């Protein structure tokens, strides 16, 4: 998620990053406390959900405004570990 974040900063669009991080904090705090009580400090389960949310929603909303034709290539490159040469 570093490259999409840097692209948002270069575009001057920080509002999306702030919204995503607020939602992530609202998700992570209860998730971490529930994971520690139920699964004895196995917060990795919550991290998988957090990173999936970053990937699915962060990329989706970013590509609604910036480079909408590149959304599927970004998903394919991220999920299948294939990247086009520059």
The reported pLDDT for the residue numbered 66 is 86
Domain spans, the chain: 15-79
Mean pLDDT in order along the chain per 10 residues (86 residues): 85 91 89 71 77 86 86 74 56
Query: Quick one: which of 57, 59, 54 has its CA closest to 73?
Result: 59
Burial of 62 (0-12, 13-18, 19+ CB in 10 A): buried
User: pTM value?
Assistant: 0.69
The reported pLDDT for the residue numbered 36 is 66
Compute CA distances 41 → 10, 37, 70, whole Å: 38, 7, 38
CB 63, CB 11: distance < 8 Å: no
């Amino acid at each position: 998620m570093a490259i999409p974040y840097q692209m948002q900063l270069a575009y001057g669009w920080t509002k999306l990053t702030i919204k995503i991080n607020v939602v992530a904090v609202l998700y992570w705090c209860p998730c971490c406390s529930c994971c520690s009580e139920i699964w004895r400090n196995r917060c990795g389960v919550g991290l998988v959900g957090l990173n999936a949310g970053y990937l699915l929603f962060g990329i989706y909303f970013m590509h609604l405004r910036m480079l909408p034709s590149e959304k599927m290539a970004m998903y394919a490159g991220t999920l299948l570990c294939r990247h086009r040469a520059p």
